Every structure is written in structure tokens, then in C-alpha cells.
Amino acid sequence: MLHIQSLIDDAKCFETVRRLRWPDGVQCPTCDSSKITKQGRDDTQPERQCYLCLSREQRFDDLTDTIFAGHHQPLRVWILCPYFMGLNPTFKE
């Protein structure tokens, strides 16, 4: 189970998302290729890592194709909401 201390800062939220989304290492969300390189950070959210899939030559980031993509609220808001609603089992380690 995650502790609230690991969810109140953006960097820790993104680390948590990466760890839960890709437990065996980052993969392209479209083709599942593990042939990727880091491509800097997002301009508006510096904790959000950008990647390039070398198989498809397409960029993606930590939130691409997730329910968190395309929202303007900080990730910590989206992560903390279910936590406070008692849905913490979703975030098992």
C-alpha cells in the first residue's frame, strides 16, 4: 500500500506512475517495444519524462494513453483523489 507522503509531491507521483505502469522497464504504449530513449522533460511539468520509441520513431511520455493524459490538473491531484476516497487498494505495491 502506498503512503500519502509518497503522493504529495509531483516528482514522487510520477515515479510511482512509472513504477506501477512499467514494472519491467519503460515500454512504448502503442507497440510495447522496449527500444526507447529518454527525450527530455515536459515543458509544463518538469517531472514528466518524455521518451522516443525507436521502433516507431514516435514520442510519448509517462502519461500517454492513461486516464491522466490531457488533464490540466497536477498529477498529484488525480492520484490523491482516489486515495482520499478510500480507493487506496488500487495503489498496491
Q: How many CB atoms lie within 10 A of CB 90?
A: 11
* Beta-carbon contacts of residue 75 (< 8 Å; ≥ 6 apart): 10, 13, 14, 17, 45, 47, 48, 63, 68
* pLDDT for position 6: 58
Instruction: Count CA within 13 A, CB hemisphere, residue 74.
Output: 13
pTM above 0.75, yes or no: no
Secondary structure class of 21 (helix, strand, coil) = helix
Q: For 11-52, how does the pLDDT look when each residue is reduced to its tens digit (9 = 90+)?
A: 888 888 899 899 999 999 999 999 999 999 988 889 999 999
